[in-house]
Each structure stands twice: as C-alpha cells, then as structure tokens.
C-alpha cells in the first residue's frame, strides 16, 4: 500500500558496485556549497557573524577578569548563608566549554538537523510507525530510522525495545535545503507563527522547534500525497550548531531567516490589582 518496497525501473548491474559507491560517496561528499544557504553563508553571512561577534582584546580581558571574580566568589561562597553540613554535596555540573576567541575561521555553522517523530499510536500497533517513516522520507528525501524505547513506562503501556519513534539526521547540502524549505515555505504558511522565543536554545548551540500535525501537510512534497497517509503526526526539528552559547546560535539562525521574538506575557500577568 505504501510502496516502500517499490522498485523503479533501474536495477544496478552489480550490488557490489552500488555499495562501493555508497561508501565512496559518504567519505567524499562536498559539504554545503551547492545550495543557496551554503553559498550565502560562505560568501556573506560568515563575515557578518565574525564582525558582529568580535570582541576587542582589551574588552575581552575585562570580561574574563569579571568572569573570574564571579567564579571565585561562587567557589568561596562569599554571598549567601553558610552551607548546611548535614546536606549531601551537590553533583558538580560539567563546566560549559569556554567561548573561543573570535577568528576568521571559527564562525558558528549548522552541524546537523534531526527531524524526529514520536508516534504514540505505535504503542497499540507498530505498523502506525510506517506513516511516520514515510512522512520523513517524503519531507527530507532520506529514509527514516526506527527508534526503539530504552526504558519501560507502565503508565503508557511502554515496554523496553518497542519501536516508538522515527528520525532522520541530515547533514551537508540536504540539511541546508531542508532548512531553506522550512524557513521559506513551511513557517510562513503556518497560522500564527511569529518565530522562536529569545529564550530558545539549550545553551550549547542546539535549538529545537516542535510542530503540530497540521504543519506536516504544509511541505510542498506532502501536497501530492497527503490523502495517502492514514496517520498524520507532528514532528520536532533539532538544529545542532557549532555555536557554544545561545546568542551565537541565535545570530546564526536569524542569519538564515529564522525569526526570534520576545515571549509576550499574557495580559493577566502584566496587570495585577
């Protein structure tokens, strides 16, 4: 019905040749210059980001000195109450990587984009996952990978090893084409989407967007085959960048056209009697 096993009219003369070329391709693919976003980044955006992120050495020294005094104060715990000796020591969080000095060669760039669909209907019937896999293939052009659960969750009748989600990881030109499609076609078609929040980002250069099931039909490839899907699901898009902090990541993604807006408080919170 889905035609996942369909074969087109072309057959490889030898299977060995096909696998050999697949290995060759993976190692030698040109990364990120054949697309609009790739060339824009290399020729224009990278320079602009370097200029905007540049901190003069004197200012940088002042910032580092201030950071050092802050860390020193935190270590010595000069502020606040003395520590409670009966309480156990907190786990020390791994320190974030230091912000590197801005050079002409280390502007942030997108490393990979993961499109992920978690299919709750697959709990009852694992064949529902086929919809998710097909949707991912239609949107990204890459065959999706099935994800099995790692833990049990009795409240949702989830057992370890059940296939529950599908994902696709995109790199290089495919990733940039997907991002371009998202920003230029899908997001503008969404109802009442204004952009990512300024608080978005995981602090280490990762940004996530979550979408309702209504959004998947907005992709141009889905227009043709929308009716053939028995199950329409929402999806998440995780953008991994080489930025080390949220502001750098925001700068990069806004350069690619992703809007960022301040979260607006609801009226009830702004005015209280």
Q: Are 60 and 263 in contact (CB under 8 A)?
A: no
Take residue 213 and report the two structure tokens written for it: 């099931």
Minimal CA–CA distance to 251: which of 73, 7, 30, 52? Answer: 52
Per-residue DSSP letter, 41: I
Binding residue for other proteins, selected from 96, 127, 143, 148, defined by CB under 8 A: 143
| Dihedral angle sign, alpha carbons of residues 153, 154, 156, 159 | positive
How many angstroms separate the Cα of 51 from the Cα of each of 103, 249, 257? Answer: 10, 15, 18
Verify binding: residue 18, other proteins, rule CB under 8 A. Answer: yes
Binding residue for other proteins, selected from 62, 63, 64, 141, defined by CB under 8 A: 141
Binding residue for other proteins, selected from 44, 63, 214, 254, defined by CB under 8 A: 44
Q: Determine the size of the site formed for other proteins (CB under 8 A).
A: 48
Instruction: Give the range of 30-38, 110-118, 146-154, 195-203 binding other proteins by CB under 8 A.
Output: 30-38
Take residue 78 and report the two structure tokens written for it: 């000069």
Instruction: Give the range of 34-42, 63-71, 81-89, 232-240 binding other proteins by CB under 8 A.
Output: 34-42
Q: Are 242 and 100 in contact (CB under 8 A)?
A: no
Binding mask 162-201 for other proteins (x = CB under 8 A): ----------------------------------------
Residue 37 Cβ vs other proteins, minimum distance, rounded to whole Å: 11
Take residue 195 and report the two structure tokens written for it: 């952009």
**DSSP class per residue in 45-64:** IHHHHHHHH---HHHHHHHH
How many angstroms separate the Cα of 267 from the Cα of each of 125, 199, 264? Answer: 43, 20, 9
d(CA 255, CA 257): 5
Verify binding: residue 232, other proteins, rule CB under 8 A. Answer: no
Instruction: Give the range of 85-93, 158-166, 219-227, 261-269 binding other proteins by CB under 8 A.
Output: 219-227
Verify binding: residue 25, other proteins, rule CB under 8 A. Answer: yes
Instruction: Give the range of 14-22, 67-75, 87-95, 113-121 binding other proteins by CB under 8 A.
Output: 14-22
Binding mask 86-115 for other proteins (x = CB under 8 A): ----------------xxxx----------
Q: Are 252 and 246 in contact (CB under 8 A)?
A: no
* Binding-site ranges for other proteins (CB under 8 A): 2-4, 6-14, 17-18, 21-22, 24-25, 28-30, 34, 36, 39-40, 43-44, 47-48, 50-52, 54, 56-57, 102-105, 134, 137, 141-143, 223-225, 228
């Amino acid at each position: 019905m889905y035609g996942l096993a369909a074969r087109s009219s072309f057959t490889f003369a030898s299977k060995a040749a096909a696998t050999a070329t697949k290995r060759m391709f993976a190692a030698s693919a040109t990364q990120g210059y054949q697309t609009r976003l790739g060339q824009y980044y290399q020729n224009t955006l990278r320079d602009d980001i370097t200029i905007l992120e540049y901190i003069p050495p004197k200012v940088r020294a002042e910032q580092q000195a201030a950071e050092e005094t802050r860390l020193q104060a935190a270590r010595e715990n000069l502020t606040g109450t003395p520590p409670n000796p009966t309480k156990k020591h907190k786990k020390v969080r791994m320190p974030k990587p230091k912000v590197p000095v801005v050079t002409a060669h280390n502007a942030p760039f997108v490393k990979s984009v993961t499109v992920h669909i978690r299919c709750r209907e697959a709990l009852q019937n694992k064949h529902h996952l086929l919809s998710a896999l097909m949707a991912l293939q239609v949107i990204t052009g890459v065959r999706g990978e099935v994800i099995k659960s790692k833990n049990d969750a009795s409240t949702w009748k989830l057992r370890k090893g059940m296939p529950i989600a599908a994902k696709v990881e995109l790199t290089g030109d495919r990733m940039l084409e997907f991002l371009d499609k998202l920003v230029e076609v899908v997001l503008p078609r969404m109802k009442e989407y204004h952009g990512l929040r300024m608080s978005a980002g995981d602090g280490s250069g990762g940004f996530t967007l979550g979408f309702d099931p209504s959004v998947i039909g907005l992709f141009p490839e889905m227009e043709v085959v929308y009716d053939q899907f028995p199950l329409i699901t929402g999806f998440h898009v995780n953008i991994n960048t080489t930025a080390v902090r949220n502001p750098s990541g925001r700068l990069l993604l806004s350069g690619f056209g992703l809007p960022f807006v301040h979260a607006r408080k609801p009226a009830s919170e702004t005015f209280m009697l």
